[in-house]
Amino acid sequence: MTLSSFFREHPRAAVAFSGGADSAYLLYAAKQCGAEVHAYYVKTEFQPRFELEDAARLTRELEIPLHVLEACALCSEAVAENPPDRCYHCKRLIFQTITRAARDDGFSLLLDGTNASDDAGDRPGMRALRELSVRSPLRECGLTKDEIRRLSREAGLFTWDKPAYACLATRIPTGEKITPEKLRATEAAEDFLFSLGFSDFRVRQSDGVARIQLPEGQLGRLIEHRKEIVTELRRYYRAVLLDMEVR
């Protein structure tokens, strides 16, 4: 199956849009194939501000309608308590929110940007997609992450080289309760590192301690800015550590 044949068979669909490279290319391909698609972005406590900004920019450039929905992830005890299957409960919340809104807008089919490089297995998030009958055209058509980045670059999408960004909740160890304060600290810390030119990193936390993970090639920059990083992150954490098992 190709994306062209998929969208010939399904000419109208709602797309769950995270602001990332995969769902961005899916939106682009759908429009190129002549399909009528709307993008749906669900804003929870787990998404950093820049993801919504990227989603708005991409849909504006593609001239595709963007619906921004809000959902309270931490209102669900099964999410806030951060069990091993937290992602399952969170994904169900997000896709159920989109499904309701999309149906009100006349869309019966919901798509997401899962690609052929993603390991379906029995991952909690994938289980939620199956249960809610969410289709993944990129995966069904065999498009890998590398292919999607290449095609996105050829299409001129600014998301073509955007690093994968897991939600803020992933910075908190499984079993440790997620709170708004911890999420705000994570976003502030990572925003600061972004402002210094770092990329593809994580600021993980546990019991009030920040643990920075970043690519080996950026260690020199970290040493150069060590003092200001420690000063800034100590505003949110009682200690700042470098994880020597670099990304």
Q: Do 154 and 189 reside in the same domain of the chain?
A: no
- Number of other residues whose CB lies within 10 A of the CB of residue 50: 14
- The tally of domains found in the chain comes to 2
Please report how many Cα atoms fall inside a 13 Å half-sphere around the Cα of residue 111, on the Cβ side.
30
Q: Pick the closest to residue 22 from 129, 133, 138, 126 (CA basis).
A: 138
75-128 residue pLDDT tens = 999 999 999 999 999 999 999 999 999 999 999 999 999 998 876 655 677 888
Q: 201-244 pLDDT, tens per residue?
A: 999 998 899 999 999 999 999 999 999 999 999 999 999 999 87
Q: What is the CATH number of the domain that holds 60?
A: 3.40.50.620
Q: Domain range holding 87?
A: 3-161
For strand 66-70 and strand 36-43, is the pairing parallel, antiparallel, or unpaired? parallel
Taking the model in full, what pTM does it have?
0.91
38 and 125 co-located in one domain: yes
- Shared-domain flag, residues 116 and 223: no
Q: Do 156 and 186 have their domain in common? A: no
CATH value at residue 186: 3.30.70
